[in-house]
Amino acid sequence: MNAIIEFMKRNYKILIAVLCLSVTLFAFKINADKNEDPDPNKDKTLLELLAFVIEKGHYSPAEINDQFSKGIFKDYIEALDPSKRFFLQSDIDEFKQYELMLDDQFLNKDLTFFNLTYTRLMKRMEESKKRYKTILAQPFNYTTDETFNADYENIPYAKSLTEINERWRKQIKLSTLSSLVTKQKIEEEKKKKDPSYKEKSFETLEKETRESSLKSLDDNFSVIKDLNKDYWFSVYLNSIMTRFDPHTSYFAPEEKDRFDVNISGKLEGIGARLTKKNDFTQIDELISGGPAWKGKQLEAGDLILKVAQGNEEPVDVVGMRLDDVVKKIKGHKGTEVRLTVKKVDGSIKVISIIRDVVEIEETYAKSSIVEKNGLKYGVIYLPKFYIDFENKDGRDAGKDIALEVERLKKENINGIVLDVRDDGGGSLSTVVDIAGLFIQEGPIVQVKSAGKKKEVLYDKDKKIEWDGPLVIMVNSFSASASEILAAAIQDYKRGIIIGSKQTYGKGTVQNVLDLNQFVRNTNYGDLGALKITGQKFYRINGGSTQLEGVHSDVVMPDRYAYLKMGERDIDNAMPWDKIDPADYTTWTSNQNFMKAIENSRARIAQNAQFKLIEDNAKWIDVKNKENVYSLNIKNFKETQEQVENEGKKYKPISDYKNNLVFKSLPYEVTEMNNDATLKEKREAWHQALSKDVYVEEALNVLDDLQAKSVVKTTTNVSPKMKKDKLVKS
């Protein structure tokens, strides 16, 4: 999730403290002869440097003890071999002698465990390269009744070379079987379209799948061969750093460069954020306006199994480094990439996407107008809390939301829905500015640094931009800054929070520190950076947003409700706690507040679409836990067909229409007439809104929040006068 990065610029006290203490680190100075190995002690230096920065700069560093050591051991071994296809049980038994010693090795700059595991991994990988070539040299027998268990987290390590050979055989067979079934379907479709088409034989297709799998594995191992020891050491370092908390991590130089590029907000490719899930690459988020988002076929939670360039053979990316999967998916605008994905419901699909530039415009706020029951409402979508640190006159979310509110007021709207679903956060100052648009003045968020008094950030502008009905939409992917905004609006009782049961639960701030600033006269080259947790957020009521997130006033069924995807599902997440509340006064102008919540809950309980979504969520949870696959082609096809048939029950979810018409504001209509791309993007967004049952319910809540006895006010009445009038009515 996005760090609230202006604290790196704002919180000078912490940074200065760290920088002043960095004189201690000048002991790291290297006076090696230039003819020597340029970095004989680089790894030890990094360990010492990271330990120092963590001690001085982390908000609440974990105690470095045996429990800490066990966490490093678990995370590191899983990172090296997530699908348990390299190490033998005998290797793990040998490694286990160090399980309670890694805390001491970290502090003592001891590389014994790392060197042992690195050497063994290289050996096992070389053995595996010979293994898969032997397996793929002969046709598979798909009539045999056998299964493969892909529950990598719980399956044991292989006890012998014979057992690991068998695991590789079954894993490769599952991959080729999936490809074979897909190829057969393609051949059948071609035959249906053209009766004269001569279908490829089973033998031909079977051979093609083995050749494709061989090429994919060759490519994969070629990439692995190119990884130097520094890469694997950075894996080890991150296994240590993330034990302090999930958001503290080491950036190797290449990763730091990539991080800098990502903050710029301009992407080229399919417009999707990817994460690693065991041996798989998972779609984590679709970028609004990007090709994948517009295509409406990919969704969060999908697993990418293969990647193909245009008409080329697909490459198996299971087990491949995330960076290398990203490189294969990325490409120039206008080129095609074909992704073989396992959908969240278990079905396998091939999805074609034409790459494009994902413009930064789509990270900006936008609004729409809709009429319902004779009233006008505004919907504002905020994908992130953006700001341009280098240009004070540049765009930022606070100024843009204020502008959208002003534009909506000119259209005489009767309520606002502010949508921060899937918003991973961003700039803290913009949260204060946005919340301040809806209250007269007062505290918005409390921030605490280690060993320091809390800092309360206030909206000091007494002007209220919008004093009418307000709904904030969230989901389980709303994180960090999104949670602060929702919490402030909830604590003030200024608006109603609707969405998933609770938001993500990231209540911490990270700063990115360049490690090179702490070392002088080194021949090491770039040492990278450390993203470190330095502060913690608290609501104005005193409770932290960490772990718990924000609980919605109105909970709407969520397709992903049963999947473990939040901060609370991470074993070493920082705990929830509370501090003293800030001094604030709740909003008193929502006389229908509780009634609107009650009405919404009642509607949702009776809504057939929401019942179907809840049923679908439970079904997805069941399918997500099914990890045993038949390697018999007849049984495999039957299972896939069953999944597809079961999935048809949930097709009405994507086919749903709320019969509402969403329109752009007048200024944007003018711009759209001169910009075909903008017109296409807005029409796609409006279409998505017209199929969104969640937005429909948000508008129902705005209906219920209306002060029914109040005649529509004129646009020239001041916000303060409006507030007084509503209180009296």
Annotated catalytic residues are 480, 491, 506
Q: Which residue bears the tokens 């921030």?
A: 447
- 8 Å CB contact between 420 and 482: yes
Q: What token pair was written down for 113?
A: 């465990």
The strand pair at 280-286 and 303-309 is best described as antiparallel
Cβ-Cβ contacts under 8 Å for 411 (sequence gap 6 or more): 369, 376, 378, 665, 666
What is the C-alpha to C-alpha distance for residues 147 and 246, in angstroms, rounded to an integer? Answer: 35
Which DSSP category does 551 fall into? B
What is the C-alpha to C-alpha distance for residues 224 and 251, in angstroms, rounded to an integer? Answer: 19
Q: What token pair was written down for 627?
A: 């990890």
- 8 Å CB contact between 39 and 525: yes
The dihedral through the CA atoms of 319, 322, 324, 327 has a sign that is positive
Length of the chain in residues, anyone? 729
Q: Which residue bears the tokens 């896939």?
A: 640
Q: Where are the beta strands (DSSP E) in 450-566?
A: 455-459, 470-474, 496-499, 508-514, 529-538, 554-555
What is the C-alpha to C-alpha distance for residues 3 and 506, in angstroms, rounded to an integer? Answer: 9
Taking Cα atoms as reference points, which of 528, 434, 519 lies closest to residue 481? 434
Q: Please, which residues bridge with residue 149 across strands?
A: 628
Residue 646, CB-side half-sphere exposure with 13 Å CA sphere:
16
Dihedral pair phi/psi, residue 427, rounded to 5°: -80, 130
What is the C-alpha to C-alpha distance for residues 354 and 270, in angstroms, rounded to an integer? Answer: 7
Dihedral pair phi/psi, residue 306, rounded to 5°: -145, 155
Helix, strand, coil distribution of the chain in percent, nearest 5: 45, 15, 40
Taking Cα atoms as reference points, which of 496, 703, 700, 687 lies closest to residue 604? 700
Cβ-Cβ contacts under 8 Å for 378 (sequence gap 6 or more): 367, 368, 369, 404, 405, 408, 411, 413, 415, 416, 417
